[in-house]
Amino acid sequence: MNNDATRYPSLERRVVFITGGGSGIGAGLTRAFHRQGAEVAFVDIDDAASQALVEELKAETGRAPQYRHCDIRDVAALQAVIAEVGHTLGPIHTLVNNAANDDRHAWDAVDVAYWDERMSLNLRPMFFAAQAAARQMIDAGGGSIINFGSISVQMAIGDLSTYVTAKAAVHGLTRSLARDLGKHGIRVNTLVPGSIMTDRQLEKWIGPEEEASIQARQCLKLRLEPCHVAPAVLFLASADSLAISGQELAVDGGWG
Ligand SMILES: NC(=O)c1ccc[n+]([C@@H]2O[C@H](COP(=O)([O-])OP(=O)(O)OC[C@H]3O[C@@H](n4cnc5c(N)ncnc54)[C@H](O)[C@@H]3O)[C@@H](O)[C@H]2O)c1
């Protein structure tokens, strides 16, 4: 635990809903919001990692975040969980649209079914989670929605066209929703991670050579980890960012 972490009194007892909160960057978000005293509910499909995280935080703090198994490709199930969390914990104040999947695919192997499935995971749930959560936020007088983009939008990475397309669309989604929801006191922003060394990234895509070349591109010669992303998300959820909406905040070590 980072004992130097900034405390945000405005996050205490706030209901925070995180997609993909069981591992990777999402687990860092679950930990960070929980340690702020927020009431965290998260969805994921990795039951083992999610339940281990719940136990870890329960042992650390004596209270537990709420885990619900939910495949976010199922819009009805996702919106039902959001409604249920609103009934049991109170209105959602912060929605973090974090879950995504960056599986590689050859451009000429993508068919319509695969394209649609990728969008149903990497883009569609962000809109429908926001739609369901915003209804609660409007009744409660405001809130914060943080959508996860990706540095890959600025890069020319091959074998990733459906993911990069979805991530590029996140910027438009954020800006348009910021306009629709701003009148209700709801802020919508995009968090743009750089290359974050999660377990999955290290297992699947990034070896020592790739990591060296990533650090060469970063202004800061630092291994970026989930603990570097979470503080920026806390800020965007807190009252300290009350006048910030429709923006993109990169946590990428200064990519160039
Ligand atoms: N790690 C990076 O370098 C990096 C870079 C740029 C952007 N991002 C973005 O940051 C966010 C988090 O990425 P990450 O690296 O932690 O990913 P990750 O794959 O490590 O974690 C994603 C989490 O989402 C869950 N998930 C996957 N499919 C799901 C589904 N259908 N329903 C519910 N949950 C599901 C996974 O089980 C996992 O817990 C994503 O939006 C990703 O695109 C990450």
Tens digits of per-residue pLDDT, 73-112?
A: 999 999 999 999 999 999 999 999 999 999 999 999 999 9
Question: Residue 155 belongs to what domain range?
Answer: 10-194+226-250
- Residues labelled as active-site residues: 163
Query: Going by CA atoms, what residue is nearest to atom 17 of ligand 1?
Result: 24
Query: Going by CA atoms, what residue is nearest to atom 25 of ligand 1?
Result: 20
Task: Answer yes or no: is 202 within a domain.
Answer: no
Task: Answer yes or no: is 199 within a domain.
Answer: no
> What total of structural domains would you count in the chain?
1
Alpha helices, DSSP H only, in the chain? 24-35, 47-61, 75-89, 112-122, 124-140, 161-182, 199-204, 208-217, 226-237
Residue 122 tokens, joined: 């990497």
Ligand 1 atom nearest residue 27's Cα: 39
Is the pLDDT reported for residue 46 higher than 80? yes
Task: Answer yes or no: is 140 within a domain.
Answer: yes
Nearest alpha carbon to residue 230 among 30, 15, 1, 10: 30
Here the CATH number for the domain that contains residue 165 is 3.40.50.720
Instruction: Report the largest interatomic distance among the alpha carbons of the chain, rounded to a whole angstrom.
Output: 51
Cα(36)–Cα(34) distance, rounded to whole angstroms? Answer: 5
Mean pLDDT of the chain, nearest integer: 97
Q: Which residues contact 70 (CB under 8 A, 6 or more apart)?
A: 43, 44, 45, 77, 78, 81
pLDDT for res 3: 54
Query: Going by CA atoms, what residue is nearest to atom 37 of ligand 1?
Result: 46
Q: Tell me how far the alpha carbon of residue 221 lies from the centroid of ligand 1, in angstroms.
A: 24
Q: Is 25 in the pocket of ligand 1 (CB under 6 A)?
A: yes
Digit-coded pLDDT (tens) for 112-160: 999 999 999 999 999 999 999 999 999 999 999 999 999 999 998 999 9
Q: Tell me how far the alpha carbon of residue 20 lies from the centroid of ligand 1, in angstroms.
A: 6
Confidence grade of residue 192 (pLDDT, cut at 50, 70, 90):
very high
Burial letters 177-214, b for 16+ CB under 10 A, else e: bbeebeeeebbbbbbbbbbbebeebeeeebeeeeeeeb
Residue type, 171: H
